[in-house]
Structure 1
């Protein structure tokens, strides 16, 4: 059965007076269920959504990457910030120009954002550093979107892992804000000699680098952040950093076993940023779903906390959605978190027998990007797919009612708390969703991140403003219906 028979919800839904399935777009959100975000007057330029966070009043701040920044001689990226209320409407006053702000912070990429406990907006991306290679760039804005000049003097700072005689190309991928206002940034450190490691740095609330954090000595009794691997001698790529119980951190990412075999991975850092010696508290989690040619590519895209010591890992296994659940633990009566292990209560469902405690989807050509956990433990995963059947299928198999085909559709999968596909959601637990464009369906839709508003998934992504070509990406956000009665609140 083709996935096009599951749902194509971009333009068609039940009347508002009818009971809609929870796979359907909530038409009360924004404009008929969708909000497109772009720079006015930008023509056909791309404005790709990067990340979003909830505000104290239940609304959203969305960060997007826009072209045309000052980095690299004018070929860099600018930050687009969009402020929406809970129902997807622009906050017309008190935030830039009717809820939109564009900033040039001398970045060459925009990769993640968060909101701290004081409501300040933190955005990270690469910025040109030593020798033209990248450094971690961090920019903080006030809650109203204005530059926060209390942070590093002008609102932004940078950090590089370069050491004497060896340059590194550093790219941040994830940011979190500690309750005390300190900012923790994780990303990737690529050495000019060919090594690839993850790197983590913490900044004080005033924007200075926290010299009490890390495992790299600064020569003066302090530290210059953390740099390490998930497994000895293997390249490491960080995707997400999380704060777990006791003020410990977990870096989650991908570990390279060989040129045809990569694995999910995670490593515990102490509250002061140090990894345990001898790879204690570090583990790789192979999904090992065989792909074409026998490759075993497992690529972690995101990690989300199910509780203070339980983490859901989400990504792709040889071009299919993949997820597993892991737990951080202590040993021998200690209060220190030193172990990471897969959760055997996560039964999952694999297309083949590659992993006992994993979920692997049945749709090839798919990339899992993000997950969120509902209050009842159900897990919603989002991403995109270029294959619209259970197994390989030609693009001609998918057409909108208007007759135009599309190359990528947003894919949403819901799992039960034990990792098995939720049969009450779509067909086999999955549904296709395509953003609207010019009265029909966008030629290319990709989902980036998901959060919950009560029991309703709110999904951020990007979609082209075209029904026939991959051109002019805009940020898009939508909210799905809920099958639960009296749903309220937000996570």
Structure 2
């Protein structure tokens, strides 16, 4: 159900930003766990403990790079891209289990490729920095882009030596780049630190957009002290951000108004300049709590009519984490035309299901969500939901789409091409070796057998590597398919 909570938000400006950020202590219980390992051992609705947001396979590789590859429209590997068909991008040098990660891939209006991720901070620092990198349409590092005086292809944000958890991003119609994520900062209440939302907007050339927040950055702590007798703060994270037609930004993620306990799906809206919008939802917030357990927003897409589709997971009890779709009206109310309370959960015969990727078709008639099912002493499988945007939850097509019948596979991201074909990207394990995978589906949910082999294209970039997964996918204007993700450094 939707809950009403007290909240406040602020922009930390000027010297106060540097001072506050520099005072950061350990992240403790509020830090987000590692993205669910490829081996399927951690549950999506686990605790908030953990400090390393990077691995996909959870195997302890010393370092990783980002691999970006391209497929032709028929599913064959495009060897004209990058160097022999692969571009290796090194965000930074990994140490002590913290290494390069990738969360999203987008293409802009000229088919340049934008990567969204994190890296281990430089020098002796042990924190992570936010990284946006840009490649040319053919896979070369774009050295006209960057945050340094002499651009080098990378825009790096150091939040005064804090762990910055970059998540999903997007490119605006005007070419500006928006990113989401979170960091943990002191609350000023004893030794407490709590996660807060971090949004960043870049200009087209990779420099900070000073018209947004302070130097392009907004830090937002919506759940502050609830009362004089209970001064500890809650926490909030933004896993994704989308833009409505009036320039407002809507987030999805998870958080709680209390200092500890289960997390709920939370959503906020910010103006084009970064101020919290109190007209969103109820009192400026949307909080979805199904039955008092952990509910998480993992991604969102703004539909053509400014409604917002959130995807993630909801817990209905022990060993019952279900994939979740939530549709909101343009002002943040439940869309009762979609479902009586605006949301629907889905179970596919496993203890754990979750959506991580979502996309909208160019004509606005369709949306698609992808993720995985896991647990029950069975292999992990990718899952796919196809949503008619003018329909109800009862019209959603949802199915498990296993790539392997004997080992694990998951989908992390999804995209539509100009003809409404659906591309799901992730990984498949074969013989203990993880490979990148793309599958193409029709809007009826069937594999398109004219693509790849039986509708599936695989690529093993790092042979015998346990860390290899496509975390993002984007379609260029000529129909070619770009995917990217972390691989073990060789």
| TM-score (ref. length: structure 2) | 0.73
Whether 1:56 and 2:109 are equivalent positions in the alignment is yes
Instruction: State whether residues 328 and 342 of structure 2, in contact with CA within 8 Å, keep that contact through their aligned partners in structure 1.
Output: no
| Pairs within 5 Å for 1:145-184 | 145-163=206-224, 164=226, 165=230, 167-184=233-250
User: Which of 255, 275, 300 is the aligned partner of 2:314?
Assistant: 255
Aligned to 1:84: 135
8 Å contact from structure 2 (residues 144, 205) kept in 1 = no
The answer for the alignment partner of 1:274 in structure 2 is: 333
Match of 2:470 in 1: 447
Instruction: Report the 3-state secondary structure (helix = DSSP H, G, I; strand = E; otherwise coil) of the residue aligned with 1:447.
Output: coil
- Identify the residue that residue 152 of structure 2 maps to in structure 1: 98
User: Is 1:301 aligned to 2:350, yes or no?
Assistant: no
Match of 2:275 among 208, 224, 230: 208
Q: Tell me what 1:412 maps to.
A: 438
Structure 2 residue matching 1:123: 3-state secondary structure = strand
- Of 383, 401, 408 in structure 2, the residue corresponding to residue 365 of structure 1 is 408
Call closer, same or farther: CA 1:413–1:276 in 2, change over 3 Å: closer
Q: Tell me: CA distance 1:254–1:42, structure 2 relative to 1, closer, same or farther (3 Å).
A: closer
Deviation at 1:314, TM superposition (A): 0.8
- Structure 2 distance, partners of 1:47, 1:88, is 18
Q: Take 2:333 and 2:342, find their aligned partners in 1: how far apart are those partners?
A: 12
Is 1:112 the counterpart of 2:168 in the alignment?
yes
CA distance in 1, matches of 2:382, 2:93: 37
Residue in structure 1 matched with residue 481 of structure 2 by the alignment: 457
Q: Indicate if the aligned counterparts of 2:348 and 2:400 stay in contact, CA closer than 8 A.
A: no
Unaligned stretches of 5+ in structure 2? 1-66, 375-379
Size of the aligned set, in residue pairs, is 395
Cα distance in 1 for residues equivalent to 2:95 and 2:312: 36
For 2:325 and 2:442, the matched residues in 1 are separated by 23
Higher mean C-alpha displacement, 83-92 vs 61-70: 61-70
- Conservation of the 8 A alpha-carbon contact between 1:114 and 1:177: no
Secondary structure of the 1:57 match is: coil
Quote how far apart the aligned CAs of 1:325 are.
1.3
- Equivalents in 2 of 1:209, 1:202: separation in Å? 6
Post-superposition offset of 1:205: 1.4
| 2:254 alignment partner in structure 1 | 188
The SS at the match of 1:341 is: helix
* Cα separation, 1, equivalents of 2:182 and 2:126: 13
Give the C-alpha shift of residue 450 in structure 1.
0.9
1:312 CA displacement: 1.3
Residues 161 and 189, structure 1, Cα contact 8 Å, conserved in 2: no
Task: Tell me, in whole angstroms, the C-alpha distance in 1 between the residues paired with 2:158 and 2:197.
Answer: 16
CA distance in 1, matches of 2:81, 2:382: 27
Check conservation: 1:107, 1:137, Cα contact below 8 A: no
| 8 A Cα contact 2:355 2:369, kept in partner | yes
Contact 1:69 1:108 in 2 (8 A): no
| Alignment counterpart, residue 455 of structure 2, candidates 429, 440, 444 | 429
1:59 deviates by: 0.8
- Contact kept in structure 1, 2:326 and 2:343, CA below 8 Å: yes
CA distance in 2, matches of 1:280, 1:34: 47
The answer to whether the Cα contact below 8 Å between 1:263 and 1:285 also exists between their aligned partners in 2 is yes
- The alpha-carbon deviation at position 126 of structure 1 amounts to 1.1
Q: 1:60-100: per-residue Cα shift (whole Å, max 9, x none)?
A: 22122012289xx9543212221211111122235453322
Instruction: Tell me the CA shift for residue 285 of structure 1.
Output: 4.0
Using the alignment, how far apart are the partners of 2:395 and 2:336 within structure 1? 21
Output aligned runs, 1:14-33, within 5 Å: 22-33=74-85
Q: Which whole-Å deviations, capped at 9, do the CAs of 1:199-225 have from their partners, x for residues lacking one?
A: 11111111211222221x3xxxxx3x2
What is the TM-score with the length of structure 1 in the denominator? 0.73
1:336 equivalent in structure 2: none
Question: After alignment, is 80-89 or 267-276 more displaced?
Answer: 267-276
> In the alignment, what sits opposite 2:204?
143
RMSD, aligned CA: 3.1
